[in-house]
C-alpha cells in the first residue's frame, strides 16, 4: 500500500518553517490530523506557530454539534493553542464567512478540513468562503489538501441550477465531484475571481483512482454522522433522505447506511429495490430505533445498504431509486421536508439537494429514475472541461 502524505504531513515534516513569526488563523475540525493521528493544533503548538485565532466549521472544531445546529463562539478558547474560537456556522448565512475584524490581525489563514467528495458536504464551501474573505482582507489563505475519500475519477450527478444554490450547493458542481478540497477551492476561486491569496499545499503519493482506505491514512470521522468510509460511500445518494420525512439514520449507529420510517415494511422495500438490479449494492431489510432525531425512540422499518463493489456502485443513482421505490410503495406517506434547511426558507430541502426540481418532480410523477440519472450524467460530462482545469493529481 502506498502511504500518502497530506498537506499537513508535509507542513509537519518541514517544521512549519514558512509560518514561523507569522500570525496564523486556523480553520480545522477533528479530522485535521497527520498520518500519526496528531491534531493540527498540537503540531502548531509543537512547532511554535503563533495561532492567533481558530475558526470552527459546521459541527464545530471538535464536531460536538449535530447537523444544522448553530455554534456559539462567545468566550470560547481552543484548549491546545489557547486561541479564541470563532464559529463559521452560526444563526445566519453571514456567519458562514470569517468576519473582517477576525482577519485584520492575521498574516495567514490556514485551512485543514477533510472533505468526503459530495457536493452536499459543507466543508468545501467553508474553505472557499474563507479564501474569499482572506483575499478581501489582503492576507494569504493556505489550504492543506487531503485525498478525496471516494477517489478522484468518478463523477456523478447534475450541476446545481443557479436558482437552487445554498450551503449544500453554494457553487455549481456535480453531486459527486471527484475532486479534492484543494481542487474544489482552486476551481471556485479561479472561476469567481478570488484566487489571488490562495496557496494549496498538495498531497503527495495519492493517485486519483485510490479510495481512502488505499492511502494508508487513518480515518477520523470529520463530522458526527460520518463514522466510516462506508458512510461516505453511500452519502452522495442517501443524504437525499434529509430532504424527506424519512430517517437518514441519525441517532443510529450507521447513519446514511441505515434508513427508514415508521410506515416502511422493510422486506417489501428490499424486494422492490433488489429487483432493480442496481450495481454494487445489496439491500438488507431491518428494524431499528433511532435514539434521537426523526422517529427518536421508535422502532421503525427500513434498509441497510451494503456496498458490494465500490468500483461499480453509483450512490446517487441508488438514492434516486430508493426515493422512487418508497413513493411507489407508500404514496403520500413519503413527504418532502418543508422546514427551513441550511438557512433557506423559500425552497424545499429536496430541491436544494437535487440542485433543481427535476428529481422531486420525476418521483412525484412516477417517472423513470434512470432517464433522469442519465440526463444528470450528461451534465457531468459537459462539466468535464471545467473540472479538468482544476486537477492537480494523476
pLDDT along the chain (394 residues), means of 10: 87 97 98 98 98 95 74 80 95 95 98 98 98 98 98 96 97 96 98 96 98 97 96 98 98 97 98 98 98 96 98 98 98 97 96 98 98 96 94 97
What is the separation of C-alpha 289 from the centre of its chain, rounded to a whole number of angstroms? Answer: 25
CA distance 334 to 4: 43
What is the pLDDT, as a whole number, of residue 1? 47
Residue with cell 433522505: 241
Nearest to 220 by CA among 232, 204, 234, 235: 232
What is the pLDDT, as a whole number, of residue 291? 96
CA distance 62 to 136: 28
CA 120-60-344 angle, 5° bins:
45
The domain segmentation of the chain, as residue ranges, is 7-223, 229-356
Nearest to 111 by CA among 35, 200, 49: 200
CA distance 53 to 86: 7
What is the pLDDT, as a whole number, of residue 75? 65
Which secondary-structure segment (H or E) carries 85?
strand 85-87
End-to-end CA distance of the chain: 17
CA distance 316 to 178: 13
Cβ neighbors of 153 (< 8 A, separation 6 or more) are: 178, 208, 209
What is the pLDDT, as a whole number, of residue 62? 87
CA distance 388 to 189: 15
Phi and psi at 221, nearest 5°, equal -65, 125
Alpha helices in the chain (DSSP H): 7-13, 40-47, 100-103, 123-137, 181-192, 229-238, 266-275, 315-330, 349-354, 358-364, 369-388
| Dihedral-angle region of residue 256 (phi above 0 means left; psi in -120 to 50 means alpha; beta otherwise) | left
- CATH 3.60.21.10 is held by the domain 229-356: no
What is the pLDDT, as a whole number, of residue 67? 67
Phi and psi at 235, nearest 5°, equal -55, -40
The CATH number fitting domain 7-223, selected from 3.40.50.12170, 3.30.750.200, 3.40.190.150, 3.30.830.10: 3.40.50.12170
Residue with cell 478522484: 152
Strand arrangement, sheet containing 140-144: 85-87, 50-56, 23-28, 108-112, 140-144, 198-201
Residue with cell 482545469: 389
Cβ neighbors of 142 (< 8 A, separation 6 or more) are: 108, 109, 110, 111, 199, 200, 201
Q: Is 282 exposed, middle or buried (0-12, 13-18, 19+ CB in 10 A)?
A: middle
pTM of the model: 0.96
Taken in order 84, 85, 91, 96, the sign of the CA dihedral is positive
Amino acid at each position: 500500500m502506498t502511504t500518502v502524505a497530506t498537506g499537513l504531513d508535509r507542513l509537519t515534516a518541514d517544521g512549519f518553517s514558512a509560518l514561523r513569526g507569522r500570525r496564523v488563523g486556523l480553520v480545522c475540525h477533528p479530522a485535521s490530523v497527520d498520518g500519526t493521528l496528531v491534531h493540527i493544533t498540537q503540531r502548531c503548538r509543537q512547532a511554535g506557530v503563533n495561532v492567533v485565532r481558530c475558526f470552527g466549521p459546521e459541527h464545530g472544531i471538535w464536531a460536538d454539534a449535530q447537523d444544522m445546529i448553530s455554534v456559539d463562539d462567545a468566550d470560547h478558547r481552543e484548549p491546545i493553542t489557547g486561541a479564541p474560537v470563532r464559529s463559521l456556522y452560526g444563526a445566519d448565512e453571514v456567519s458562514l464567512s470569517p468576519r473582517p475584524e477576525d482577519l485584520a490581525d492575521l498574516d495567514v489563514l490556514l485551512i485543514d478540513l477533510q472533505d468526503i467528495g459530495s457536493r452536499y458536504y459543507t466543508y468545501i464551501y467553508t474553505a472557499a468562503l474563507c479564501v474569499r474573505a482572506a483575499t478581501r482582507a489582503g492576507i494569504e489563505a493556505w489550504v492543506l489538501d487531503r485525498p478525496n475519500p471516494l477517489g478522484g475519477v468518478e463523477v456523478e450527478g447534475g450541476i446545481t441550477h443557479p436558482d437552487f444554490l445554498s450551503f449544500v450547493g453554494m457553487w455549481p458542481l456535480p453531486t459527486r465531484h471527484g475532486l479534492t478540497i484543494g481542487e474544489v477551492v482552486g476551481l471556485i476561486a479561479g472561476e469567481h475571481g478570488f484566487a489571488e491569496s490562495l496557496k494549496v499545499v498538495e498531497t503527495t503519493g495519492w493517485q486519483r483512482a485510490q479510495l481512502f482506505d488505499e492511502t494508508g491514512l487513518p480515518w477520523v470521522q470529520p463530522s458526527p454522522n460520518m463514522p466510516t468510509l462506508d458512510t461516505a460511500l453511500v452519502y452522495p445518494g442517501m443524504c437525499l433522505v434529509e430532504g424527506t420525512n424519512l430517517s437518514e439514520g441519525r441517532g443510529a449507529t450507521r447513519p446514511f447506511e441505515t434508513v427508514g420510517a415508521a410506515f416502511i415494511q422493510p422486506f417489501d422495500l428490499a424486494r422492490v429495490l433488489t429487483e432493480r438490479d442496481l450495481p454494487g449494492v445489496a439491500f438488507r431489510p431491518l428494524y431499528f430505533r433511532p435514539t434521537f432525531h426523526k422517529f427518536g425512540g421508535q422502532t421503525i422499518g427500513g434498509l441497510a445498504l451494503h456496498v458490494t463493489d465500490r468500483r461499480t456502485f453509483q450512490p446517487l443513482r441508488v438514492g434516486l431509486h430508493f426515493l422512487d421505490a418508497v413513493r411507489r410503495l407508500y404514496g403520500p406517506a413519503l413527504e418532502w421536508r418543508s422546514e427551513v434547511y441550511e438557512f433557506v426558507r423559500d425552497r424545499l430541502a429536496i430541491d436544494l439537494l437535487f440542485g433543481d426540481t427535476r428529481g422531486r418532480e420525476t418521483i412525484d410523477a412516477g417517472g423513470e429514475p434512470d432517464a433522469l440519472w442519465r440526463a444528470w450524467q450528461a451534465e457531468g460530462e459537459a462539466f468535464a472541461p471545467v473540472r479538468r482545469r482544476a486537477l492537480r493529481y494523476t
